[in-house]
């Protein structure tokens, strides 16, 4: 066993046997790697086909979400404006209600005064027997003739008085015509 050729042959046999074992063991691993490579290639093809439409769909979804956000913002602003209009309408209704209450109180006060006036016994007016110095004709305020003397006209004031100077003139003239008719 001191023969070096024997040891060289044995070494070569052991190396060949190890290489054969390694080759037998690595063949399934190489086949598995080939299958994995084919799967990766198929996955790459699938991703190449599917990713662009998916990315386009994601981009369109982002745009639609932006539009929906704008629509929601517009709706919120519109709702805010509607709330303001409703608030203004409510304040207008409150003001009108207060005006109606004031007018109603004024009407009832007028009715009470009228009732008291009509239900009270009228006092007899004394006729002095003096003749009137003016005629029953109508004198225009811009004419050169002087106005007939004014009777006692006491204007009544109300909160909602809308009488102007023309209506006072007409009232005075009507009052004077009535007085002159009663005296004739």
Percent of the chain with pLDDT over 70: 65
**71 assigned to some structural domain:** yes
User: Total domain count for the chain?
Assistant: 1
Residue 161: pLDDT band with limits 50, 70, 90? very low
**23 assigned to some structural domain:** yes
Domain containing residue 45: 16-116
**155 assigned to some structural domain:** no
What pLDDT was estimated at residue 154? 52
Residue 130: pLDDT band with limits 50, 70, 90? low
- Average pLDDT for residues 143-151, to the nearest whole number? 50
184 pLDDT more than 80: no
**99 assigned to some structural domain:** yes
Nearest to 131 by CA among 182, 56, 91, 167: 182
**147 assigned to some structural domain:** no
This model's pTM is above 0.75: no
Give the residue with greater pLDDT, 99 vs 142: 99
Measured distance CA(123)–CA(126) in Å, rounded: 9
**20 assigned to some structural domain:** yes
């Amino acid at each position: 066993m001191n023969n070096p050729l024997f040891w060289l042959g044995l070494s070569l046999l052991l190396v060949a046997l190890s290489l054969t074992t390694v080759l037998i063991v690595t063949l399934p691993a190489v086949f598995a790697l080939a299958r994995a490579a084919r799967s990766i290639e198929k996955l790459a093809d699938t991703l190449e086909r599917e990713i662009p439409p998916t990315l386009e769909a994601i981009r369109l979804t982002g745009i639609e979400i932006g539009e929906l956000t704008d629509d929601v913002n517009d709706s919120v602003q519109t709702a805010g404006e509607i709330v303001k209009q409703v608030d203004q309408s409510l304040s207008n209704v409150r003001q009108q209600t207060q005006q109606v209450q004031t007018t109603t109180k004024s009407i009832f006060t007028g009715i009470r005064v009228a009732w008291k006036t009509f239900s009270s016994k009228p006092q007899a007016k004394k006729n002095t027997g003096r003749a009137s110095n003016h005629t029953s004709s109508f004198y225009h305020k811009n004419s050169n003739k002087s106005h007939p003397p004014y009777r006692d006209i006491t204007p009544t004031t109300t909160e909602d008085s809308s009488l102007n100077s023309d209506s006072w003139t007409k009232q005075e003239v009507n009052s004077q015509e009535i007085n002159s008719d009663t005296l004739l």
